[in-house]
Amino acid sequence: MKKFLLSMIGILVFALGTNFAQKTTLIENFTQASCVPCVFWNPRIDDIMATNPDAILVRYQTSWPGFDPMHNQNEADPNARVDYYGVTAVPRVFFNGATQFDPIGAGIQNWDQWTDLFTTSISNGANEMTALDIKLTHDFSFDKKTADIKMVVTNTSADDFTGAGSVAHLLLLEKEIIFPEAPGSNSETEFTNVVRKMLPNAMGTPMADIAAGDSMVMDLTDVDVPDYLYNYGGLEAVAFIQNNNTKEVLQAAKSEAQAIDGPDAALTVLATAPTSYCDYDYAPKVSITNMGTADITEMTLDYVLNSNQPVSLPWTGTLAPGMTETFDFPAITLTPPSTVIQYAITSVNGSTDSDFNSLNDISAVESFSSLTSSPTREEVSEGFNISEIGEVPAGVILENPDNIRVFTVDGSISTAVSWPLGGFGNSDGCMRFDYYGIQSGQATLIMDQINLSNVTSATLVFSHAYAQSINEPDRLEVVISTDCGSTWSPIWDKDGAALATHPPTGDQSPRFYPMPTDWVQNVVDLSFLDGAPEVTVAFRGTSAWGNSLYLDDIQIGAGLVDAEDVNPLEGKVEFFPNPASDNLNIQITLEEASPISAEIFSLTGNRVATIETNATYPSGTHNLNWNIADQANGMYLVRVRTASGEITERVSILK
């Protein structure tokens, strides 16, 4: 009898279950074009969605932490959803309204862990049953300015559905937006499933009661399509029913993007970049491919050079769907220090809006740096006296392919700074390699060419200040070129503790801002370049995610220092490893026999150890050793004296 009852119950549950519809999982992702973590998470979410095509992803572009044109075009709807869920940071994800994931705030930094949680939530949602089923369709008008949207909500259960407390949301979204260059500050160029409009607004439409087996129809005709869409061919509609009391999404549906009949001209830059900083010849060249379904018979192509008036190239002919045509503009001459150029298709078939995808009509901005040909000046003096933060001084090139944080700063950069931020406190401006905010990457500051044909005893003088966070090998190199930047040779190179002018600040410490006493001056002998007609000096910074480096008071030329001020021991004494954990080696190269003294001091000037006192060594390379087993962690000064002179270097102990 017990077996029979269990069997009957199983049959009853199955029979009732068939009256319900399978729930479609809705994933709401809050993101932003200037959100740094978002550029990591968004593509990975897209990868998961590609393997879960039945789930629906929608993205709201928020107003913070920086600039986002997609948010600015539609502020009200994302802001309303932010308030609805109480979102305070991005990225943030909600599954069916009820389950929230905050990968950063929850400390979920491992992608495999996050993937497991994400896919499990999709699966859990797909296993849920619901009383409601949604059928959604949309159609464009011929001119793409309006659309008809129809949503049919059916109660598939055997019980009446009570609409009180629930609303129906209709969304228009763009399936894919690809910018020619990042619109925000996080380097992200591809955005998917972006919510562009909620209909009639973000509050939605209150649901009515639906009797068992009956349907509710929402039929919207001649709905205005937003005129700020980038790609009308990617317009999709999404609908979902949400209980405002619990925030649970009861059901969701999507109407896929439709093919649009019309032309779509896609621009590709074919011009070859200059081969060196003294290659001034440039031939603008592009290709146009018709990605649409209708012939292109007329176009106007433009390029803009250094924000001047556009140079136009009209074209007539027949460019059939799928075909490509190449276009050559008149050649131009690049001018130092930089030339900026951007290409655009400004009209297709006699109209500015007949092309339904506007983003592939324009190129990324291209910038070409140039050095002065046949330079006449014999010296460089750069003190970074800026009028605003971020300004690159005239005659200086900043090559920053990794788009890392390298820019000029002054005391106004932070309320924590109440002193002149420039070298030794003598000025306010300087250049900052913000390793504190750069996980990795490299940037190069290039000074314009100088002519040393009539110069003797050429010298480079510059000042820097830097602190490690713990023991990161952040690096600064000085390199020179005599062939306009085609090849570079190192002349000065320090990293980590050898570069540091201030003790490590600690892993959780704030950004380092140098006091006047944190600066050191560096003198580099360039006399081997005397007589060279074209010399370029550059400063190359490489980040290992330590704290910040500051650069100032760059001078190149003759007579900058007296001959006796150039340290004869520069390059003749090395300290390694630095930082040290058990022993510090002091390697000294003597050109002739000489007495050697080596002493260790704390930063407060107290002598900590004496390694050698006036002992005579023959010519050659010699190694001294400091056993640091009993020394505390921190920074120390090592002073070495020979008959040629004296040199002091900072070293650190880290056990």
Give the relative orientation of helices 36-50 and 111-126 as an angle to the nearest 10 degrees: 50
pLDDT digits (tens, 9 = 90+) for 177-219: 999 989 998 889 999 999 999 999 999 999 999 999 999 999 9
Tell me the CA end-to-end span of the chain in Å, nearest whole number: 76
Structure confidence at residue 452 (pLDDT): 94
Confidence band of 629 (pLDDT split at 50, 70, 90): confident
Structure confidence at residue 642 (pLDDT): 87
Q: Parallel, antiparallel, or unpaired: how do β-strands 56-61 and 26-31 relate?
A: parallel
pLDDT digits (tens, 9 = 90+) for 606-628: 778 999 988 999 999 999 999 99
Res 515 pLDDT > 50: yes
Res 3 pLDDT > 50: no
The reply to whether 573-653 shares the fold of 380-565 is: no
Which run of H or of E encompasses 15? helix 2-17
Q: What is the mean pLDDT of residues 127-137?
A: 93
Give the integer Cα–Cα distance in Å for 81 and 239.
Answer: 15
Structure confidence at residue 217 (pLDDT): 95
Confidence band of 4 (pLDDT split at 50, 70, 90): very low
Structure confidence at residue 603 (pLDDT): 63
Give the integer Cα–Cα distance in Å for 391 and 389.
Answer: 6
Percent of the chain with pLDDT over 70: 94
Give the integer Cα–Cα distance in Å for 456 and 414.
Answer: 42
Give the integer Cα–Cα distance in Å for 333 and 311.
Answer: 14
**Range in 316-320, 504-508, 528-532 the model is least confident about:** 504-508
| Encoded tokens for 153 | 């909500």
- At the fourth CATH level, the homologous superfamily of domain 573-653 is Immunoglobulins (2.60.40.10)
Query: Which carries the bigger pLDDT value, residue 306 or residue 567?
Result: 306
Give the integer Cα–Cα distance in Å for 315 and 364.
Answer: 22
| Encoded tokens for 80 | 């309303």
Task: Tell me which fold the domain 18-255 belongs to.
Answer: Immunoglobulin-like (2.60.40)
Q: What is the mean pLDDT of residues 38-63?
A: 93
Res 488 pLDDT > 80: yes
pLDDT digits (tens, 9 = 90+) for 492-504: 989 988 899 888 8
Structure confidence at residue 173 (pLDDT): 95
Give the integer Cα–Cα distance in Å for 382 and 275.
Answer: 27
Structure confidence at residue 15 (pLDDT): 34
Confidence band of 410 (pLDDT split at 50, 70, 90): very high
Q: Break the chain into its structural domains and give their ranges.
A: 18-255, 265-369, 380-565, 573-653
Question: DSSP for 598-637?
Answer: EEEEETTS-EEEEEEEEEEE-SEEEEEEEE-TTPPSEEEE
Task: Please name the residue ranges forming H helices in 65-221.
Answer: 69-73, 76-85, 111-126
* Residues sharing a CB contact under 8 Å with residue 148, sequence separation 6 or more, in sequence order: 138, 139, 141, 219, 220, 221, 222, 223
* Residues sharing a CB contact under 8 Å with residue 513, sequence separation 6 or more, in sequence order: 413, 414, 416, 417, 421, 548
Structure confidence at residue 438 (pLDDT): 79
User: b/e map of 465-482 (b: 16 or more CB within 10 Å)?
Assistant: bbbbbebbbbbbbbbbbb
Mean pLDDT estimate for the chain:
88
Structure confidence at residue 323 (pLDDT): 97
pLDDT digits (tens, 9 = 90+) for 447-485: 999 999 999 889 999 999 999 998 899 999 999 999 999
Residue type, 71: H
**Architecture in CATH for domain 380-565:** Sandwich (2.60)
Confidence band of 604 (pLDDT split at 50, 70, 90): low
Give the integer Cα–Cα distance in Å for 52 and 421.
Answer: 53
Q: What is the mean pLDDT of residues 66-73?
A: 96
Res 10 pLDDT > 70: no
CB distance 215 to 207 below 8 Å: no
Q: What is the CA radius of gyration of the chain?
A: 33
Which CATH number among 1.10.287.70, 2.60.40.10, 1.20.1260.10, 3.90.870.10 corresponds to the domain 265-369? 2.60.40.10
Query: Which carries the bigger pLDDT value, residue 601 or residue 559?
Result: 601
Confidence band of 17 (pLDDT split at 50, 70, 90): very low
Confidence band of 105 (pLDDT split at 50, 70, 90): low
Structure confidence at residue 419 (pLDDT): 95
Q: What are residue 385's phi and psi, to 5 degrees?
A: -80, 90
Res 440 pLDDT > 60: yes
**Range in 67-71, 301-305, 341-345, 353-357 the model is least confident about:** 353-357
| Encoded tokens for 254 | 């999507």
Confidence band of 647 (pLDDT split at 50, 70, 90): confident
Closest CA to 153 of 219, 204, 203: 219
Q: What is the mean pLDDT of residues 81-95?
A: 94
Q: In 3-state terms, what secondary structure has residue 124?
A: helix
For residue 192, list its beta bridge partners.
176
CB distance 43 to 11 below 8 Å: no
Q: Judge if the upstream peptide bond of residue 330 is cis by omega within 30 degrees of 0.
A: no
